[in-house]
Amino acid sequence: MKKELVKIIRDIEKEEKVKVLFLIESGSRGWGWESEDSDYDVRGVFIQDYLKFTEIKEQIDLEKGDLDITLWDLRKFFRLMIKSNPSVWEWLSSDIIYLENPLRRKLKRIFLKNFSKYSLKKHYVSMAKQNFDKYINNEKENANLKKYVYVLRSVACVTWIEKYKTPPPKNYKKILKLLPKYVKDFFEKVVKDKRKSENLVGPRNKKVENFIESYFDKNFDKDGSTFKAGKLNKLFKDIIK
């Protein structure tokens, strides 16, 4: 798969006139609960010619077979990084790397040093609520059970940040221990059943839903990020030289 992916990325670079800096796996494979039929959620960052009058690309998307590829321009990545965006952290902390670059490790260190715990928690709560409202709360008696896993992971990430004051680890097993036993047991059962197929429909779990909803109106202590725009501007210029 990696050989096929690299070829596709080289074709994208040639067609879009960009240079991809790094590529990682996100989604269920990166989190450790993939199914036999899970897609590969490939994410990466690129640079391009910024000294042109034509439109600058913010994002490139491509779906091919079981590959779901999303690439962000480095400027977009930086803008979201200083907002302590969780996608940025998860791309920087992924354990599955298809194309490495020392820059990714450097940006990971910068994120760890400067992120806002408040902003990161609020982002994860927002993700949980969006997925809950869209895929679970709108259903009647049955729902796609795998969506509970995505929502509960976001909730567990909030709990991790509150307890350890650090961004959450990628693998779900490390954060799952922070959830109540009945939630953890439900989570593990869904993951076990999900490994057989992505299409997993079953009765809604109101007790687990009440636990999830308790996070939506939580108040968090505020803190600010300490990212320095000047330093990131200098780093950006050094990268595109």
Kindly indicate the confidence band of residue 194, based on its pLDDT and cuts at 50, 70 and 90: confident
Q: What is the average pLDDT across 86-90? A: 96
Q: Which helix (H) or strand (E) holds 7?
A: helix 2-16
Res 198: pLDDT: 66
Mean pLDDT of the chain: 93
CB proximity list for 216: less than 8 A, separation 6 or greater: 125, 128, 129
Q: What is the average pLDDT across 51-62? A: 93
Kindly indicate the confidence band of residue 173, based on its pLDDT and cuts at 50, 70 and 90: confident
CB proximity list for 163: less than 8 A, separation 6 or greater: 178
Kindly indicate the confidence band of residue 37, based on its pLDDT and cuts at 50, 70 and 90: confident
Q: What is the average pLDDT across 33-60? A: 91
**Each residue's pLDDT tens digit, 90-109:** 999 999 999 999 999 999 99
Alpha helices in the chain (DSSP H): 2-16, 27-31, 74-81, 86-93, 102-114, 117-135, 146-164, 172-176, 181-194, 206-213, 229-240
Q: What is the average pLDDT across 157-182? A: 94
Q: CA 76: distance to chain centroid? A: 15
Q: With a cut of 90, say whether residue 36 has pLDDT above it.
A: no
Q: What is the average pLDDT across 28-57? A: 89
Q: What is the average pLDDT across 146-165? A: 95
**Each residue's pLDDT tens digit, 206-241:** 999 999 999 999 999 999 899 999 999 999 999 998
Single pTM value for the model: 0.92
